[in-house]
Structure 1
Amino acid sequence: MSAPSKVVPVEALFGLPTRSRAVLSPDGTRVAYLAPWHDRLNVFVRAVDSDWATPDDGTTADAPDRFAAAASYTGMSDLGDLVESVVPFARRAVVNSYLRYIGDPDDPRQAADMLARSPITRVQDITAPMLLIHGANDVRVDRRHSDRIVDALRARGAEVEYLLNQAEGHWFINPDSNIELYRTLERFLAKHLGARSSETRLVSA
């Protein structure tokens, strides 16, 4: 499947695919793409198991001037914490994914590198308004990953919104939860990209 026109390959923004938050598929044919919005980039990248990776809030820290706004959906903020949270009996299952592409926190040199690349270490570089979305019952990426980013951004007076759904886990499955999620995301992007949301269209009608 060919890429849509006027797109920026994700590896051009996130560096080496073997050591970054954006991972190419093993055959090199599947990548995430960043779609331009006027002179900025409008990004929605979602992880799918180990074939893809989510840049999340790390993206806005790496290239803060390129984004009008950013949204993180069940995103991680601490690479070491993410890998260490994998239960021991499942560690072998992530050797070719987490440990290969993110790093091994049991290795001191890799642990230091992982911390340096973690969004929580780069919060001061995030200048775009942010929306974070998380399920309170997430057992794959604990809500503390989003909590820490939100707390740090609020502490320095940055513009940040937080949708924490008390009934959901890693992916939202309830229809009402997904309606709330996409309405919140639509309103947030409309506000910062200069467009109208479905809510404003209904009011104007």
Structure 2
Amino acid sequence: MAAGYREWGGKMQDDVTDATQWAIKQGITTQGHVCIFGGSYGGYAALEGVMKEPDLYRCAIGYVGVYDLPLMLTQGDGSENTSARSFWRSRLGNDEQALSAASPVNQVDRLKASVLLIAGGKDVRVPPIHAQHMRAALDKRSIAYEWLYKADEGHGFYDEKNNAELLQRVTQFLDRNIGTGGSVAAGSP
């Protein structure tokens, strides 16, 4: 666990890349038909994955993810609490420039994959401002993406109707990008 401290976008991301490349080499999947999906830190890893390795993934789904690392130090889980701020600094580090460089929100010029962003308006763990910043960065560069936002959800969707919509949207997104409709994906490498 400690080996991952201060390695968001570094060794932790390299492990995800290595696992993806291993799965391709093993024939579990094929190059050009991989989508990366995660929630919370996993949402970060999904978006960072398509930024750091733009030719490896066809699509990414970020679910209640962290996309702006410096912002996590001031607007994230417990950021108003001294011990929580200390926790995040020990896990992320203090170097604002390095954190900015490892933030998906600042790397969208590298993006080739299709993206689906999912956020809850009442998320206190990873406040929706992270997804809103990611969305604004994509909009600024006129990069198409899909968006699912539920104002009444938190760090995960729990309302049955919202969860059903989330699962339907994810399934449709995956089908268009790597499923039966995957050959015409707009963001494919």
RMSD, aligned α-carbons: 2.9
Match status 1:20 vs 2:7: yes
Structure 1 pair 146/102, CA: closer, same or farther in 2 (3 Å)?
A: same
CA distance in 1, matches of 2:35, 2:145: 17
Q: Tell me if structure 1 keeps the 8 A contact 2:67–2:131.
A: yes
1:43 pairs, out of 36, 39, 47, with 36
Percent identity over the alignment is 25
Q: Tell me how far apart the structure 2 counterparts of residues 77 and 24 of structure 1 sit (CA, whole Å).
A: 17
Q: Which amino acid aligns with 1:115?
A: S
Distance 1:78 1:117, change over 3 A: same
Change (3 A) 1:192 1:53: closer
Q: Confirm or deny that 1:187 pairs with 2:172.
A: yes
Cα shift readout 1:42-97 (whole Å, capped 9, x = no counterpart): 3233447xxx88413112110111111111001112111112123333x314645x
The residue aligned with 2:91 is: 101
- CA 1:181–1:81 in structure 2 vs 1: closer, same or farther (change >3 Å)? same
Give the aligned residue type for 1:190: D
Question: What number of residue pairs does the alignment pair up?
Answer: 167
Shift in CA distance, 154/143, structure 1 to aligned 2, threshold 3 Å? same
Normalised by the size of structure 1, how large is the TM-score? 0.70
- Relative to the length of structure 2, the TM-score reads 0.75
Structure 1 contact 22–53 (Cα < 8 Å) conserved: no
Does 2:83 align with 1:92?
yes
1:149 pairs with 134, 145, 148, which one?
134
Task: Choose between structure 1 and 2 for higher RCO, CA contacts under 8 A separated by at least 6 residues.
Answer: 2
Within 2, Cα distance between the matches of 1:160 and 1:45?
A: 16
Q: Which residue of 2 aligns with 1:167?
A: 152
| Greater Cα radius of gyration, structure 1 or 2 | 1
Partner of 2:186: none
**Counterpart contact for 1:135–1:167, Cα < 8 Å:** yes
Amino acid at match of 1:45: G
| 1:63 match | 53
**What is the CA-CA distance between 1:23 and the residue it aligns to?**
9.2
For residues 54 and 146 of structure 1, do their structure 2 counterparts lie closer, same or farther at Cα, with a shift above 3 Å needed?
closer
